[in-house]
């Protein structure tokens, strides 16, 4: 199952079969969190997709700086949203740095900070919108 998303994350694809809609929804949510980061850094992810590699310890992969593959589940058991989001940030860091060196890990930390700031701003906006409804 697939859908288009934005100018920075072009296509989202889940695996076929059981729970494909749940997986697609989860990928859309992940995409909504990482899209502002991609936009700010000028990155384009042509495909954000679910994958199920044979290597059970593999959680994600960045292919040619254009496709980000994420493991969402083992069978019917989904990984936590935060774990998947963390993997997505790790794979995005490969847009700039290939090897897992100090620069790479520093970039992952920068992306995590950027995401935390973005999430805090969003939470404040939602809180403001909810509180302002009581004064209308």
Please tell me the predicted confidence (pLDDT) of residue 70.
98
52: helix, strand or coil: coil
pLDDT at position 12 over 90: yes
Catalytic entry in 67, 91, 109, 110: 91
- Tens digit of each residue's pLDDT (9 = 90 or more) over 61-72: 999 999 999 999
pLDDT at position 128 over 60: no
User: What is the sign, positive or negative, of the torsion defined by CA atoms of 34, 39, 43, 48?
Assistant: positive
pTM for the full predicted model: 0.86
For 127, counting Cβ atoms within 10 Å of its Cβ (0-12 exposed, 13-18 middle, 19+ buried), the class is exposed
**Do β-strands 67-70 and 73-74 pair in parallel, antiparallel, or remain unpaired?**
unpaired
Output the average pLDDT for the chain.
90
- Tens digit of each residue's pLDDT (9 = 90 or more) over 72-114: 999 999 999 999 999 999 999 999 999 999 999 999 999 999 9
pLDDT at position 4 over 90: no
Quickly name the fold that domain 2-135 has. Answer: Zincin-like (3.30.2010)
Domain boundaries, the chain: 2-135
Question: Do 50 and 14 touch, CB atoms closer than 8 A?
Answer: yes
Once rounded to an integer, what is the mean pLDDT over residues 9-19? 92
In the chain, count H helices and then E strands: 3, 7
Which tokens belong to 10? 């072009």
Please tell me the predicted confidence (pLDDT) of residue 127.
56
Please tell me the predicted confidence (pLDDT) of residue 121.
77
- Tens digit of each residue's pLDDT (9 = 90 or more) over 20-76: 999 999 999 999 999 999 999 999 999 999 999 999 999 999 999 999 999 999 999
91 is catalytic: yes
């Amino acid at each position: 199952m697939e859908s288009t998303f934005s100018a920075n994350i072009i296509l989202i694809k889940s695996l076929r079969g059981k729970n494909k809609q749940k997986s697609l929804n989860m990928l859309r949510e992940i995409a909504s969190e990482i899209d502002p980061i991609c936009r700010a850094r000028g990155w384009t992810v042509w495909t954000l997709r679910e994958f199920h590699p044979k290597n059970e310890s593999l959680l994600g992969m960045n292919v040619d700086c254009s496709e980000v593959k994420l493991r969402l589940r083992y069978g019917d058991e989904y990984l936590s949203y935060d774990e998947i989001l963390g993997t997505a940030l790790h794979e995005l860091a490969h847009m700039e740095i290939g090897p897992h060196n100090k620069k790479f890990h520093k970039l992952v930390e920068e992306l995590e900070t950027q995401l935390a700031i973005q999430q805090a701003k969003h939470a404040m906006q939602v809180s403001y919108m909810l509180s302002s409804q009581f004064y209308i």
